Amino acid sequence: MRLKHRWSLGHNYLAGITAGDWLRLLRANRFAVSPAYWHRALFISATSLVNSYYRYFENRQYHAEIEATQLDTPPLFILGHWRSGTTLLHYLLAQDTDNFSFANTYQVVNPYTFLTTEATMSRRFAHLVPPTRPMDDMQQSFTTPQEDEFAPLLLTFCSLYLGISFPQREKFYSRYLTFRGVSGSERERWKRQFLWFCKKLTLRNPKRLLLKSPAHTARIRLLLEVFPDARFVHIHRDPYRVFQSQRHFFDTAGWYTYLQKPNLDRIDDGILERYQQMYDAYFEDLSRIPQGHFCEVSFRELEDDPLRTVRDIYEQLALPGFESFEPKLRAYVDSLAGYRKNTFAPLDPATQQKVADHWSRYFEAWGYHK
């Protein structure tokens, strides 16, 4: 098997872990790092020592302030399966800096230390973050909006993403997509640490939090337990396109975070299973969201007319300030004029039928043709 990007140290969220946590994570996985990735483990070990040093001082300096911080306005969560347009929607809404604050790339991979280290370290190590994402060439830096999943991952180890780093235990970590069947103590720990991270973000910037993690799509119940008045916007996309794009993700970005050799024969089945698990949980919990706190858009709508789609989101969720935000949004949309999406060859008939069979419920739910 050819190991793509074997020697890369970039794109690795575990670079933000602290030493004691890194040791516990390795112990939980029986120190089973593949020899091909020992250099990554060594790099993470080195950064973990630095992170531990700053964690100690940040905790001493900010603990009381973080605990006292209140979120006066409930967050807005962007939901949607990976590769459904969540990042585009996140980037568009994040332009509204009068109303929103968001977690950036540096903050989500350094949840223990960003209050004291971001200003310096984000400049010193900017070269570790390529200017575009490997799976879709969208803009990326330490300061761009980022999905918040990485922060509670590092704070609790309760994340399905650890099943990418340690694919031998993929099934174990997959429980944390929906948190169904997870112990009450783990659920409470995740909620407590997620709220703690949100307080740190709010201490930095007190505006309404704009949060995006595709995994949250399967956690509506859990999120409402933390933020009963939260708002949600869900974006969906042609399932065939999602499947193709997810395949591409694992053939590009996935290779940067492996600490064990992957089982490539599991990629397609894993995509099919996660989609079903996510949306079964989503539809089960959707009715829990209070009226007026949820809206839904399609990627096609967002792509064809981003200004109108964002306006509709503001109207449906009763968000203030669209008129003053519109010129800035229009300028950002204009700046994306040269962007080109990935193109893929059509799925072979057998795979297309497999996707249609496994995801039949979801094709019908949003009116896509099988």
Query: CA angle, 21 as apex, 19 and 23 as ends, to 5°?
Result: 70
Q: What is the pLDDT of residue 113?
A: 97
Q: Which amino acid is at 9?
A: L
Bridge-based pairing of strands 231-236 and 294-298 is parallel
Residue 163 in this model has a pLDDT that exceeds 80: yes
Q: What is the pLDDT of residue 308?
A: 98
pTM (2 d.p.): 0.96
DSSP-derived secondary structure letter, 104: B
Q: What is the pLDDT of residue 331?
A: 96
Of 42, 55, 34, nearest in space to 15 by CA: 42
Residue 292 in this model has a pLDDT that exceeds 80: yes
Query: What is the torsion angle, in degrees rounded to the nearest 10, for the CA atoms of residue 231, residue 237, residue 239 and residue 242?
Result: -90
Long-range CB pairs of 92-98 (<8 Å, 24+ gap) are 92/302, 92/306, 92/310, 92/329, 92/332, 92/333, 93/210, 93/310, 93/313, 94/145, 94/210, 95/325, 95/328, 95/329, 95/332, 96/321, 96/325, 96/328, 96/329, 97/207, 98/207, 98/321, 98/324, 98/325
- When mean pLDDT is compared across 39-48, 219-228, 309-318, 342-351, the lowest value belongs to 342-351
Do 17 and 51 contact (CB within 8 A), yes or no? yes
Residue 93 CA to its chain's centroid (Å):
16
Q: How far is Cα 216 from Cα 291, in angstroms, rounded to an integer?
A: 19
Q: How far is Cα 179 from Cα 199, in angstroms, rounded to an integer?
A: 22
Most distant pair of Cα atoms in the chain: their distance? 59
Count the Cβ atoms, other than its own, within 10 Å of residue 25. 20
More confident residue, 68 or 125: 68
Q: What is the pLDDT of residue 136?
A: 60
Q: What is the pLDDT of residue 137?
A: 67
Q: Tell me what the mean pLDDT of segment 228-241 comes to.
A: 98
Structure tokens at 267: 């990629």
Predicted confidence (pLDDT) per residue in 296-325, tens digit: 999 999 999 999 999 999 999 999 999 999
Q: What is the pLDDT of residue 124?
A: 78
Rg value, the chain, Cα: 20
Q: Tell me what the mean pLDDT of segment 363-370 comes to.
A: 94
Segment holding 188, helix H or strand E? helix 184-204
Q: Phi and psi dihedrals of 219, rounded to 5? A: -130, 30
Q: What is the pLDDT of residue 335?
A: 92
User: Which single residue is written with the structure tokens 């397609």?
Assistant: 268
| Domains assigned to the chain | 13-336 (3.40.50.300)
Q: Phi and psi dihedrals of 207, rounded to 5? A: -75, 170
Q: Percent of the chain, pLDDT > 90? A: 89
Of 246, 296, 301, nearest in space to 275 by CA: 246
Residue 237 in this model has a pLDDT that exceeds 80: yes
Distances (CA, A) of 109 to 54, 117, 261, 322, 356: 14, 12, 23, 31, 36
Structure tokens at 129: 């973050």
* Residue 11 banded pLDDT, cuts 50, 70, 90: confident
Do 69 and 203 contact (CB within 8 A), yes or no? yes
Q: How far is Cα 161 from Cα 20, in angstroms, rounded to an integer?
A: 20
More confident residue, 130 or 77: 77
Predicted confidence (pLDDT) per residue in 22-47, tens digit: 999 999 999 999 999 999 999 999 99
* Residue 135 banded pLDDT, cuts 50, 70, 90: low
Predicted confidence (pLDDT) per residue in 70-126, tens digit: 999 999 999 999 999 999 999 999 999 999 999 999 999 999 999 999 999 888 777
Q: What mean pLDDT is reported for the chain? A: 95
Reduced to 3 states (helix: H, G, I; strand: E, B; else coil), residue 132 is strand
Q: Phi and psi dihedrals of 112, rounded to 5? A: -80, -20
Q: What is the pLDDT of residue 213?
A: 97
Bridge-based pairing of strands 208-212 and 100-102 is parallel
